[in-house]
Chains A and B, each alone.
Chain A
Amino acid sequence: MNASANSVIVMNGVSKAFGPHVVAKDLSISVSKGEIVALLGRTGAGKSTVLNMVMGNLRADSGTVRVAGLDPYGEFKKLRGKMAVSFQQDRLLPWRTAIENVELGLLILNISKAEARKTAKLWLARVNLADAEDKYVHELSGGMRQRVSLARALAVDPELVLLDESFSQLDHVTSKALRADFSKVAREFKKTCLFVTHRIEDAIEMADRVLVLRPGAGLCLEERVAANVREDEAARAALHDRIAAAMGDHGE
């Protein structure tokens, strides 16, 4: 039980199964305020399921999940305005333009139309989509949609950001720029972030800490990313190998 007052997310002894299929068993995770944590694991390891439990869409079979001290499933509405999610699929609404999609969360939080428009504009520019504002979803490429989805989550300025493979589906140049932007914003404003990725490089680059999830079990690796790792080529390679080994040598 490591639920310091500083923890934004605390999962304690959480188990989850779909029918006979066990996805998580006795899983404990804690993320402190202002921390950026990467969640890794092979496909089907249960990463999205963990995010779903944190955001309150799924209920844990046993154990406790707390977000900002609240049960995200049982006290669903109380977390209003506290977190935002960028899902693995973009989940944009086709009848709204790019900018209207970004406005959605703001409007739900009862922010005025004019204010929402201003904020949405700003975020679309940050994800390099200033000239795609008025495009409908079917007029956007896959990568553009992912960026709109990211902007929609970040625009509401939540304390906690949950990202599911938000950078993995973009080309390297866009992904790199966006990751750098995101890290900068997140650190500057002390955002807490749990992000799912299958790309070890991304995790090492962005995260303060990496967690590796093993299918049907708990964590099999939990490691702080030391500051020197990003500069020191050898240390970086060693960490990369440890993560890859924990993932079962299936990551690249």
Chain B
Amino acid sequence: MENTQTKSDIRVAQAPANVPNAEARVKSDLIPTLVVSALLILVIQIASFYVPSYIIPAPAEILKSAWQILSRDANHIFTTGIRLFIALFFAMGIGVLFGIIMGTLPKIRPYLRALVIIDTGIPALSWMLVAIFWFKEPEFRIFFILSVILIPFYALNIYDGIRALPKEWVDMIESFRPNRWQVLRYLVFPHIVPYIFLTTKSIVGYAIRMAIFAELVASAIGIGAQMNLAQSNFRIDQIFAWTLLLVIINLSLQAFVAMLEKIALRYRAEASVR
């Protein structure tokens, strides 16, 4: 009896057997997310009764500010989004290139790897401050900051991905005597696609936070700059509203990447680990 209890407890974490896994996971995640959100709103609501509104504003007030932001300051969201996309894709391109170089050119590998590793040790804040000294143009500052922060994630993960390439596949493709480019095209690129998605999924939230930070220190436009402004104007409702929007943006972006991943990796069998 005890045993079956444990077993069914474990199964709760899993998709019902007759529904495709990923969809089921999204659905089963949705309800708890809504429950937790409702509870948070309730807590804020109750707290707002007891403390002044410049400490914790009522949810209705936050929503009103959020609506104002959306109708009046949507261009800032747009700007941040564009900056994020450009930097993310650039970092992806350079990171993948670095990863492939490290994975395929043993002579260059140790030097490039050392460079990347040292970069991971440099605090994001240092890059932000340095960027302000180095560049006048805010767009360039933000682009630079995001790039140097994000490139190592891609480079190291892609490098690991290439190292995980099964020797059997390499021998198989080599039996046809391909040139270097053909090995990259038919074997290495398709093999690292899952690693690119994995990296993107895991850093997209971090990238947004870093973009906001970078804007806060380096720019007058964008979500980070607007939050800075809200802070100087003592508009806590706006800070809460921006935060709310950021959470929504973050979750939608993650869902978006997950959707792209599902399309790109449709050749894979959904694994379910028991």
Residues of A within 8 A of B (CB): 52, 55, 57, 76-77, 79-81, 83-85, 87, 89, 91, 93-97, 104-105, 107-109, 136-138, 156
Q: Which of the candidate stretches B62-70, B169-177, B202-210, B232-240 sits at the interface with the other chain?
A: B169-177
CB < 8 Å neighbour of A91 from B168, B177, B178, B191:
B168
Is B187 engaged at the interface, CB distance under 8 Å to the other chain?
A: yes
Q: Chain B residues with Cβ under 8 A from A76's Cβ? A: 174, 177
Query: Can you list, as one digit per residue, whether each of B149-193 has a CB less than 8 Å from chain A (1) or not (0)?
Result: 000000000000000000011011111111000100011001101
Is B114 engaged at the interface, CB distance under 8 Å to the other chain?
A: no
Cα distance A95–B182 in the bound complex, in angstroms = 16
Q: Chain B residues with Cβ under 8 A from A77's Cβ? A: 177
For this complex, 11 residue pairs linking A to B, each with C-beta atoms less than 8 Å apart, are A52-B171, A57-B174, A80-B177, A81-B177, A89-B168, A91-B168, A93-B186, A94-B267, A104-B173, A109-B176, A156-B176
Q: Chain B residues with Cβ under 8 A from A96's Cβ? A: 190, 267
A104/B186 in contact, CB under 8 A: yes
Q: Report the nearest B residue to A156, measured CB to CB.
A: B176
Q: Report the nearest B residue to A105, measured CB to CB.
A: B176
Cα distance A151–B269 in the bound complex, in angstroms = 23
Number of interface residues of B (CB under 8 A): 19
Q: Chain A residues with Cβ under 8 A from B178's Cβ? A: 108
From known contacts A57-B171, A89-B168, infer whether A104 and B176 are also in contact, taking CB-CB under 8 Å. Answer: yes
A108/B267 in contact, CB under 8 A: no
Cα distance A96–B191 in the bound complex, in angstroms = 11
Q: Chain A residues with Cβ under 8 A from B136's Cβ? A: none
Task: Please give the distance in Å from B251's CB to the nearest CB on chain A.
Answer: 29
Number of A-B contacts (CB under 8 A): 57
Q: State the majority secondary structure of interface residues on B.
A: helix
B175/A93 in contact, CB under 8 A: no
From known contacts A93-B187, A95-B267, infer whether A87 and B176 are also in contact, taking CB-CB under 8 Å. Answer: no
Is B72 engaged at the interface, CB distance under 8 Å to the other chain?
A: no
Is B107 engaged at the interface, CB distance under 8 Å to the other chain?
A: no
Q: Chain B residues with Cβ under 8 A from A84's Cβ? A: 175-176
Q: Chain A residues with Cβ under 8 A from B174's Cβ? A: 57, 76
Task: Please give the distance in Å from B43's CB to the nearest CB on chain A.
Answer: 46
A138/B168 in contact, CB under 8 A: no
Q: Report the nearest A residue to B194, measured CB to CB.
A: A95
A108/B172 in contact, CB under 8 A: no
Q: Report the nearest B residue to A106, measured CB to CB.
A: B176
Is B7 engaged at the interface, CB distance under 8 Å to the other chain?
A: no
Task: Please give the distance in Å from B174's CB to the nearest CB on chain A.
Answer: 7
Cα distance A79–B177 in the bound complex, in angstroms = 7
Known: A81-B177, A85-B175, A87-B168. 15 other contacts (CB 8 A): A55-B175, A76-B174, A79-B177, A80-B177, A87-B171, A89-B168, A93-B187, A93-B190, A97-B267, A104-B173, A104-B186, A107-B182, A108-B176, A108-B182, A109-B176
Cα distance A161–B163 in the bound complex, in angstroms = 30
Cα distance A97–B266 in the bound complex, in angstroms = 11
Is B274 engaged at the interface, CB distance under 8 Å to the other chain?
A: no
Cα distance A87–B268 in the bound complex, in angstroms = 22
Q: Chain A residues with Cβ under 8 A from B176's Cβ? A: 80, 84, 104-105, 108-109, 156
